[in-house]
């Protein structure tokens, strides 16, 4: 070996298996030039190394992607069945967090040369069984235990380990991807701890939750943890999902603070008395705000669709997850705007008409109702409402309706693509069948009289009766 550097005597044999050739005059000249360089910039301490090859990296990320996708779908399946308002809202947000984590992982996997078709086509029966069992929770509190305290916590740990173990230079994009996911995970897991503590304080037996947690943790260990590489132990038995396969709820449930109605879409009819004259601004304003709060049913609709069309098309699942979060915000906006208008939000009855009809319905028709009728219906009246609010200097309504308009326009646009994935029917046939199904449902709820001359209620009537 030809080198004049005395430090080279410490280089071990394996490091010098490939000899290097350094000319003394070049090394000395480089040293001289470095002396001329005046800047002492911060030193980047990262070193080459890391535990994973591209293939092993991709194997792990593929599992992470799959777990995130399944969590998004699984929480969607539970949206109808969660009674507590705060938990339903937070879950609507978490559906998007998991969807967005899946999207980021999918992008990185694609950069690791896995075809999108293969990423989306990946299935893992062991993970499926874990998810099925976790979804077989008997209550929303058990659901939170499984989703957050067992799987969520283990995923966050797996992400942190991956960040520590992968090469910080060659695989920097994976590290950035996982850090961004953890930005959502940290507040989500903290919230879940506090929420479960609140359930316990409110009377849910702590031991029952602890038994369930331990059961799911054993099941997770039996499949080698999040990465599949941890030591495996025997699976617990029996599994709930084996004696009774998981089925999503079909009935929208509310907590005890709500008084609900489903026999009409009209708030004045439900209240049995008018608060304001029928076409007055005050009436339209309150109806708009109540409708937003009652979009808690839109969380249920879009969340349920993610489950019902699961694995058909990732982009559609992702768009539905985003819409679910938007509807969560609309609900929050409505709740807060009611408070800011002087009401206790729980003194105002909650409309269940739309959700009751959509709950058991095939996804394409339910989607057509909420997207083509509900959201399009909102856009027909919202411009006028915003203009009137501006004229009257009603800043609260102007502000919220402005943002909601932008969201709903986006939903109508995204909805077109989602509907194409859900059905082969053309627009006309889809609209007609949706109207027929909703007529049947509205008749059964007593919102429409059977002796009406019309065979099916019109688009306008559905917009008015179901209202979104
Ligand atoms: Fe909305
Ligand atoms: Fe919407």
**DSSP assignment of 27-76, as one string?**
HHHHHHHHHH----PPP----S--S--HHHHHHHHHHHHHHHHHHHHHHH
Give me ligand 2 centre to Cα 251, in Å: 20
Give me ligand 1 centre to Cα 308, in Å: 20
Would you say 3 and 19 are in contact if contact means Cβ atoms under 8 Å apart?
no
Among the bound ligands, name the one nearest to the CA of residue 414: 2
Give me ligand 1 centre to Cα 411, in Å: 8
Tell me, what's the pLDDT at 451?
Answer: 62
Give me ligand 1 centre to Cα 410, in Å: 10
Give me ligand 2 centre to Cα 467, in Å: 11
- Along the chain (468 residues), what's the average pLDDT of each consecutive run of 10 residues? 46 70 96 97 96 97 98 98 98 98 98 97 98 98 98 98 98 98 98 98 98 98 98 97 97 98 92 93 96 97 97 98 98 98 98 94 94 88 95 98 96 95 94 90 83 68 74
Give me ligand 1 centre to Cα 367, in Å: 13
3-state SS record for 416-442: HHHHHHHCCCCHHHHHHHHHHHHHHHH
What's the predicted TM-score (pTM) here? 0.94
Among the bound ligands, name the one nearest to the CA of residue 332: 1
Tell me, what's the pLDDT at 81?
Answer: 98
Q: How many CB atoms lie within 10 A of CB 466?
A: 26
Tell me, what's the pLDDT at 6?
Answer: 45
Residue count of the chain: 468
Give me ligand 2 centre to Cα 460, in Å: 18
The rounded distance, in Å, linking the Cα atoms of 90 and 232 is: 33
Give me ligand 2 centre to Cα 214, in Å: 39
345 DSSP 8-state letter: G
Tell me, what's the pLDDT at 145?
Answer: 98
Among the bound ligands, name the one nearest to the CA of residue 412: 2
Complete DSSP assignment for 254-277:
--TT--EE-S-S-HHHHHTS-SS-
Q: How many CB atoms lie within 10 A of CB 351?
A: 27
Give me ligand 2 centre to Cα 104, in Å: 24
Report how far apart, in Å, the C-alpha atoms of 224 and of each of 93, 230, 240, 407 are. 29, 4, 20, 42
| Cis amide linkage into residue 100, ω under 30° from 0 | no
Tell me, what's the pLDDT at 398?
Answer: 98
Give me ligand 1 centre to Cα 295, in Å: 6
Give me ligand 1 centre to Cα 409, in Å: 10
Among the bound ligands, name the one nearest to the CA of residue 408: 2
Give me ligand 2 centre to Cα 95, in Å: 16
The rounded distance, in Å, linking the Cα atoms of 307 and 227 is: 24
Give me ligand 2 centre to Cα 233, in Å: 45
Tell me, what's the pLDDT at 461?
Answer: 78
Give me ligand 1 centre to Cα 292, in Å: 6
The rounded distance, in Å, linking the Cα atoms of 421 and 102 is: 19
The rounded distance, in Å, linking the Cα atoms of 307 and 248 is: 8
Give me ligand 1 centre to Cα 286, in Å: 16
Residues 6+ apart with CB under 8 A from 343: none
Q: Within 13 Å, how many C-alpha atoms sit on residue 394's CB side?
A: 20
Give me ligand 2 centre to Cα 140, in Å: 25
């Amino acid at each position: 070996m030809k080198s004049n550097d005395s430090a080279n005597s410490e280089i071990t044999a394996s490091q010098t298996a490939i000899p290097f050739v350094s000319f003394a005059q070049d090394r000395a000249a480089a040293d001289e030039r470095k002396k001329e360089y005046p800047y002492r910039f911060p030193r980047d301490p990262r070193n080459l190394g890391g535990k994973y090859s591209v293939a092993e990296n991709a194997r792990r990320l593929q599992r992470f992607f799959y777990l995130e996708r399944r969590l998004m779908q699984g929480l969607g399946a539970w949206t109808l069945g969660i009674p507590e308002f705060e938990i339903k809202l937070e879950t609507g947000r978490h559906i998007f967090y998991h969807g967005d984590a899946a999207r980021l992982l999918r992008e990185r996997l694609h950069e690791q040369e896995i075809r999108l078709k293969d990423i989306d086509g990946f299935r893992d029966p062991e993970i499926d069984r874990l998810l099925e069992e976790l979804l077989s929770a008997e209550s929303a509190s058990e659901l939170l235990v499984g989703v957050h305290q067992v799987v969520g916590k283990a995923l966050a740990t797996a992400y942190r380990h991956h960040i520590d173990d992968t090469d910080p230079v060659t695989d920097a994009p994976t590290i950035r991807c996982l850090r961004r996911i953890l930005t959502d995970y940290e507040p989500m897991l903290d919230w879940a701890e506090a929420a479960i503590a609140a359930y316990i304080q409110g009377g849910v037996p702590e031991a029952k939750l602890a038994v369930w947690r331990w059961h799911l943790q054993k099941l997770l260990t039996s499949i080698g943890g999040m990465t599949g590489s941890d030591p495996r132990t025997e699976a617990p038995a029996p599994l709930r999902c084996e004696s009774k396969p998981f089925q999503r709820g079909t009935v929208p449930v509310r907590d005890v603070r709500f008084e609900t109605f489903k026999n009409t879409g009209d708030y004045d009819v439900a209240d049995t008395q008018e608060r304001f004259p029928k076409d007055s601004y005050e009436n339209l304003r309150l109806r708009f705000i109540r409708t937003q709060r009652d979009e808690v049913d839109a969380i249920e609709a879009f969340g349920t669709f993610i489950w019902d069309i699961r694995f058909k098309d990732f982009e559609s699942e992702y768009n539905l997850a985003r819409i679910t979060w938007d509807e969560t915000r609309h609900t929050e906006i409505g709740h807060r705007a009611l408070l800011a208008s002087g009401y206790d939000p729980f003194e105002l009855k909650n409309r269940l008409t739309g959700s009751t009809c959509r709950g058991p319905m095939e996804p394409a028709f339910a989607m057509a109702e909420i997207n083509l009728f509900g959201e399009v219906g909102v856009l027909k009246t919202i411009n006028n409402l915003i203009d009137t609010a501006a004229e009257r200097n009603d800043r609260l309504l102007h502000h919220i309706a402005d943002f909601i308009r932008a969201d709903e326009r986006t939903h109508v646009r995204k909805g077109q693509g989602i509907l194409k994935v859900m059905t082969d029917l053309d627009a006309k046939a889809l609209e007609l069948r949706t109207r027929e199904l909703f007529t049947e449902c509205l008749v059964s709820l007593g919102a429409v009289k059977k002796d009406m001359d019309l065979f099916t209620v019109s688009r306008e009537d559905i917009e008015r009766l179901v209202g979104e």
